Homo-oligomer: A and B are copies of this chain.
Amino acid sequence: MSFSPVGNSSKRISESTIHRLSLYYRALSLFEKEDYETVSSKDLAKGENLTPAQVRKDLSFFGSFGTRGLGYPVHELRRKIASILGIDRPWRVALIGVGNIGSSLVSYKEFQKQGFQIVKLFDNDQRKIGSNHKGIVVSDVKNIERELQDAKIELVILAVPATIAQYIVDDVVRAGVKGILNFAPVILRVPDDVHLRNENMAMELEYLSFAVVNNQRQK
């Protein structure tokens, strides 16, 4: 999947570029915290396993040019990347499925830190509905379409069993949500204007087992 960049260019931004922007954003946040006013492409590349040339290429693509000898202005560049990533404002997020993984995500600090505010929780288990997680009362998933709209939810995290995931996603889509982060181990169908990311931790381990076995085989 790729997207048009901000502005009028017709070029496309790859997934890995967006990933690197997230890394630059984190690095710049740290530099800002430590009161740096400017950083070089070398500073930004360091620790991220990137080359300064890659950093310069990425940033020039977004119209940010460092000044030779001075580097990039930390605060301004951080703000600009935040704007490109859409995290220059908070996002209203709902989490569906307050089970094992789901309930751990309610208190995942990185979400809050980047402005992703989990403000609604849903489950279909009568024992969980009405219970309180970090100050949020769990709603019944059966009213989800209306409740997502009432709460102006923009992103959804789905942590439900594979068997019911598609039914719930259909409701989420009907509610007008355009971004879904899916933890259910199943491929979901969504319309073209809805963005879906799949997280499957077991598949990450399979990637590692493949890599380890393959390295051994090569020896």
Binding site for B on A (CB under 8 A): 1, 3-4, 6, 15, 18-19, 21-23, 25-26, 47-49, 84-87, 91, 93, 100-101, 103-105, 107-108, 110-111, 113-114, 116, 154-155, 157, 178-181, 185, 187, 189, 193, 195, 197, 199-215, 217-218
19 A-B Cβ contacts within 8 A?
Answer: A1-B211, A18-B206, A18-B210, A22-B200, A22-B203, A22-B206, A22-B207, A49-B187, A49-B189, A85-B206, A86-B206, A111-B201, A114-B202, A179-B211, A179-B212, A195-B211, A195-B212, A195-B215, A199-B201
Q: Establish whether residues B209 and A91, one from each chain, have CB atoms under 8 Å apart when the complex forms.
A: yes
- The chain B residue sitting closest to A208, CB to CB, is B179
**Chain copies in complex:** 2
**Closest Cβ of chain B: how far from A154's Cβ, in Å?**
7
Q: Establish whether residues A205 and B3, one from each chain, have CB atoms under 8 Å apart when the complex forms.
A: no
Complex contacts, A22 vs chain B, CB 8 Å: 200, 203, 206-207
CA distance A23 to B203 in the complex (A): 9
Complex contacts, A91 vs chain B, CB 8 Å: 205, 209
Which one, B85, B154, B208, contacts A180 given CB within 8 A? B208
**12 extra A-B contacts, CB within 8 A, seeds A4-B218, A111-B201, A197-B208:** A3-B215, A15-B207, A22-B206, A85-B206, A85-B210, A114-B206, A155-B205, A155-B209, A157-B205, A181-B204, A199-B199, A199-B201
CA distance A71 to B48 in the complex (A): 45
Q: Establish whether residues A86 and B4, one from each chain, have CB atoms under 8 Å apart when the complex forms.
A: no
**Closest Cβ of chain B: how far from A130's Cβ, in Å?**
22
CA distance A39 to B57 in the complex (A): 46
